[in-house]
Structure 1
């Protein structure tokens, strides 16, 4: 798959199953992540990978956070199953630092770009992936349970695996309708 085909056909794959990426595929995915624009070479990200028992741990983290927030039983039950939607979940955290030339927002955007690059790499490898956020990305209890600092920001949970079904091709859209000239 060439780069333009990837960019123009990439789409989320929400229905995922085993197998997860193997070690060599995961290396490609992670290597793609760190090639994104990174002003000052700060590497303002961390990738927390959950597979197997790690998915159970992530589920427990979600359940505990939901309980701490006073969620109802239906949501707590849903939270327990969230990590099980794929055989691998990569939590991407922006780990920013004070820098005279690189604002925090730019560092967070770089972590977001890393997430997108991982999704694209998975797609190029014939895998599927979907980038999710939701309330748990902004939950202090989830941050703490994942060993993140209060100032760290989860930019997403990247669910990765093998597509369970062939996703229908999305129609091409005209990007120029969102552009204007000065």
Structure 2
């Protein structure tokens, strides 16, 4: 029989992202962030390609990215309210971990599998931050795919894009529970 880990299962059954707009300082220190990144890097990775990388964004860099978001959003003609909302995500939480998808040319591992690995890294980072006692949220938005924003803001290579911005900080409001999927409607059982 397998050895159960009830604490881990209880965590998974109760986990809940914290809305980024409810996160503030203080944030985790570098040692805690390194633990969070170490846990995230244990994500399944077919072929051991490591098709992702991290950019850890502190308050000063967050302010710079907020300004870049405002500039690029205006240049793209986006709605000013959307621009303000997207920009503020970089200044509310004290830390943001950008997970850059960085696909590796491989004759065996399709890029889609590498993309899924980058997404799994995002969830693992959120869960590691939550398990460490911090509030965390995984967001994207148009900046994650805007070549100029990525190049200027994160020094992303031409083949890279952002799988997620993981905002980490102190929870200021307990999040309300939200509806969860109807497992009966989403599950087919085959004998």
TM-score (norm 1): 0.90
Identify which of 21, 30, 35 aligns with 2:42.
Answer: 35
Per the TM alignment, residue 173 of structure 1 is displaced from its structure 2 partner at its CA by: 5.7
Per the TM alignment, residue 116 of structure 1 is displaced from its structure 2 partner at its CA by: 0.4
What is the CA RMSD across the aligned residues, in angstroms?
1.9
Give unmatched runs, 5+ long, in structure 1.
Answer: none
C-alpha distance 76-169 of structure 1, shift in aligned 2 (>3 A): closer
Per the TM alignment, residue 121 of structure 1 is displaced from its structure 2 partner at its CA by: 0.6
Give unmatched runs, 5+ long, in structure 2.
Answer: 1-5
Identify which of 98, 116, 124 aligns with 2:105.
Answer: 98
Per the TM alignment, residue 64 of structure 1 is displaced from its structure 2 partner at its CA by: 2.5
C-alpha distance 176-32 of structure 1, shift in aligned 2 (>3 A): farther
Runs of 4 or more, structure 1, over 3 Å off, are 72-80, 168-177
Per the TM alignment, residue 174 of structure 1 is displaced from its structure 2 partner at its CA by: 5.2
On the 8 A contact 2:26/2:170 being kept in 1, the answer is yes
1:111 and 2:118 correspond: yes
Q: Output one character per residue of 1:122-157: Cα deviation in whole Å (capped at 9) or x when no partner.
A: 111111101111111111111111111222121111
Aligned to 1:45: 52
Aligned to 1:61: 68
Aligned to 1:180: 188
> Could you tell me how far apart the structure 1 residues matched to 2:182 and 2:86 are?
37
115-124 or 150-159, larger mean C-alpha shift: 150-159
User: Residue 40 of structure 1 aligns to a residue in which SS?
Assistant: coil
C-alpha distance 74-124 of structure 1, shift in aligned 2 (>3 A): closer
Aligned to 1:10: 15
TM-score (norm 2): 0.86
Per the TM alignment, residue 61 of structure 1 is displaced from its structure 2 partner at its CA by: 2.2
Aligned to 2:170: 162
C-alpha distance 75-42 of structure 1, shift in aligned 2 (>3 A): same
> Could you tell me how far apart the structure 2 residues matched to 1:128 and 1:108 are?
25
On the 8 A contact 1:59/1:81 being kept in 2, the answer is yes
How many aligned residue pairs are there?
182
Per the TM alignment, residue 46 of structure 1 is displaced from its structure 2 partner at its CA by: 1.2
